[in-house]
Amino acid sequence: MAVETTVLPSGLRVVTDAMAGVGTASLNVHVAVGSRNETLDEHGLSHLIEHMAFKGTKRRSAFEISEEIESAGGDLNAATATEHTAYQARVLPEDVGLALDILADILTESAFDPEELEREKSVILQEIGAVEDTPDDLVFELFDAAAFPDQPIGRPILGHPDSVSKLGAPDIRAYLARFYGANSLIVSAAGAIEHVEIAGAAQRLFAGLPQVAPPAHEPARYVGGERKTRKSAEQANLVVGFESLSHTHEDNYAAHIYSSAVGGGMASRLFQEVREKRGLAYSIYTFNWSFADTGLFGFHAAASPRDCGELLKVALDCLAASLDDLAEAEVRRAKAQMKVSLLTALESSTARAEQIARQTAVFGRVLARAEIVERIDRLTVAQVRAAGRRLLSSPPTLAAVGPAGRAITADRVAERLRTG
């Protein structure tokens, strides 16, 4: 790695990784604000701003933004998350200047034309509707809402139809003024790039951004419980989960290894017991998400109504047993999977640009590969089991979409873990 970091006088951070043998350049503008920073009246605003960034600026129409980048063979993209928003471009090395100019333009000079705004709000309403029609997406929205009820972190990133419909250009401009400052942005780049070029362009193109107060959010209060919606379907989608650990918690790596060990692949005990030995579901997998001050661990599966109860018992018994008998081989496999994921990110300029921005935002620096590998390798089976025990000790959260049945409840989950 050839990571370089510059903090500009404005507070804007520039971090790059020049990757030998890569023929493209990936650029990323990471903004330390997401859906978690919104008030109830602003619900969906972070995502709306991401959409509107591509709908015209003072210098470029929406078509000209697309035409310029695509005429250079490049592409633009963006994504809104719970705690950040990212704007991305990938181009040939000779077009780095163009890509940075467009990214700066859409982030600092967007026009927010009223007609474009109403049209894009309509698109987002359709996007929200699509989630309602997609059980394996909807079940995770219900899961978040049950885990963190009546909190920004538990609300859907896309927003709610009522809140999105009411948002206007003044709301957007006020939100940008509050959060989109030089000190809340990280410009990252990876691939065939020159750090000096990126830093110089960033200083010039983002010079007009003021400093803002550090983005704040309501502290997370994990509660747990259940949310279910009965829809006519052949299968029920189930998510069962618990509170996990923050990005910076000392046991965060152990929690990730535990999740991967018990349900991170076809060789995992959850997949083997639920799918391979009993045929109770087509797929079952675990997840472990980290945020600034909390996290979520759990598993997702879809099953026919008649199998939901048995699936839940088998899966929970697997988790309970793992706290005492998780084996060295399972932990070793999970460590290997985590290291492969790390190395895969290092091989892609787009993934690398995102990774170094996120690490800079969370840890204040880019973590060396050797440091991460060393932290993974030194974990013991006892430490991974202890992390699992900590996760499963929190109140359970259950979400279900479809004909899961009344017997599938969070209380039954807690009872099974106590007696299973």
What are the extents of the domains in the chain? 3-205, 225-419
Residue 286 · residue 262 · CB < 8 Å: yes
Which pLDDT does position 280 carry in this prediction? 96
Question: Mind listing the pLDDT tens digit for each residue in 1-13?
Answer: 589 999 999 999 9
Name the pLDDT band for 420 (thresholds 50, 70, 90). low
For range 377-404, the mean pLDDT = 96
* Encoded tokens for 51: 């959409």
DSSP category for residue 295: E
Which pLDDT does position 196 carry in this prediction? 97
User: 10 Å Cβ neighbour count for 310?
Assistant: 13
Identity (one letter) of the amino acid at 85? T
Domain 225-419, CATH: 3.30.830.10
Average pLDDT, the chain: 96
Question: Mind listing the pLDDT tens digit for each residue in 280-333?
Answer: 999 999 999 999 999 999 999 999 999 999 999 999 999 999 999 999 999 999
Has residue 342 got a pLDDT over 90?
A: no
Contacts of 292 (CB under 8 A, 6+ apart): 83, 217, 246, 247, 362
Pairing of strands 25-31, 3-7: unpaired
Q: Which CATH number fits domain 3-205: 3.30.830.10, 3.10.180.10, 1.10.10.60, 3.65.10.10?
A: 3.30.830.10
Where do the DSSP E strands lie in 115-274? 185-191, 225-229, 236-244
Which pLDDT does position 1 carry in this prediction? 59
Has residue 381 got a pLDDT over 80?
A: yes
| Separation CA 32–CA 213 (nearest Å) | 11
Percent of the chain having pLDDT more than 90?
A: 93
* Residue predicted with more confidence, 70 or 231: 70
Has residue 419 got a pLDDT over 80?
A: no
Has residue 28 got a pLDDT over 90?
A: yes
For range 335-352, the mean pLDDT = 92
Smallest Cα–Cα separation from 72: which of 112, 20, 27, 111? 27
Same fold: 3-205 with 225-419: yes
Show which residues are catalytic: 50
User: Taking the CA of residue 359 as centre, how many other CA atoms within 13 Å lie in the half-sphere pointing to its CB?
Assistant: 21
For range 126-140, the mean pLDDT = 95
> Inter-axis angle of helices 252-263 and 308-325, to 10 degrees?
130
Has residue 258 got a pLDDT over 80?
A: yes
**Rounded to the nearest 5°, which phi and psi values hold at 141?**
-65, -45
For range 372-376, the mean pLDDT = 96
| Separation CA 290–CA 4 (nearest Å) | 26
Q: What is the 3-state secondary structure (H, E, C) of 74-123?
A: CEEEEEECCCCEEEEEEECHHHHHHHHHHHHHHHHCECCCHHHHHHHHHH
